[in-house]
Amino acid sequence: MRASDAERERIAEVLRDAVAEGRLQMEEFEQRLDAAYKARTHGELEPLIRDLPAPGGAVAPVRAGSAPARTGSAGVDWAERIGGSATSKAAFAIWGGFGRKGRWTVGRTFTAFTMWGGGEIDLREARFEDREVVIRCFTIMGGMRVTVPPELNVEVRGVGIMGGFGDRATGEGVPSPDSPRVRITGLALMGGVGVERKRTKADKERARQLKKGTGDA
């Protein structure tokens, strides 16, 4: 189907939000923006934002009736969430903080560093560049939190020196055999890195409604 000027502008707006949030590098943003304004059909527009969230955190489909990927439940479509270009490969914070959460794409190797600051890495709605992902967390007199969904295959091998590298994710949840394998390594020096499994509020609500519906039946 042919794309309208309004649709091209909507895609451009999503791209501007993405570069402002650090999801796109400037070079990639310029390439996608140029392609958006040159696009003539929905088929040319859709790939430009497939790995980006729309304002409000939902996937921004171009085609009517397209559905976002299922996330955070026993029916997670992991195949849909593996592949594509990474939107972030590193995060740094000194005397401040950083956050990576929502619908973002984790690079094959993601490095996070904080000094006298904090960081949050949330994988519950994330996509993954590859089936094997390594997240390296380093903190000096700071803190970092990594939140993963119950179904994700996670291995934690961090070291704490005068600090802690906790793994509350071990022994909890039931990792899916189809999920990516995420290895979390690093060092916490006079600081802390914590890893925990936790569902999103939306997932908890869906589970509650499902349980309620089963009970009514």
pLDDT of 75 over the 80 cut: no
pLDDT at 56: 44
For residue 165, what are the CA distances in angstroms to 25, 66, 140, 143, 155? 31, 41, 12, 10, 13
pLDDT of 19 over the 60 cut: yes
pLDDT at 82: 92
Q: Which residue has the higher pLDDT, 25 or 104?
A: 104
pLDDT at 52: 79
What is the reported pTM? 0.61
Token duo for residue 76:
């997670």
Q: Which residue has the higher pLDDT, 68 or 149?
A: 149
pLDDT at 115: 94
Segment (H or E) for 43? helix 42-49
Q: What is the separation of C-alpha 54 from the centre of its chain, rounded to a whole number of angstroms?
A: 14
pLDDT at 81: 92
Task: Determine the average pLDDT of the residues in 52-63.
Answer: 49
pLDDT at 43: 82
Segment (H or E) for 10? helix 5-20
**Which DSSP state fits 152?**
S
Q: What is the pLDDT of residues 189-198, one digit of tens each?
A: 999 999 988 8
Sequence length of the chain is 217
- Indicate the average pLDDT of the chain: 80
Per-domain residue ranges for the chain? Answer: 1-68, 78-200
Answer whether 128's CB lies under 8 Å from 77's CB: no
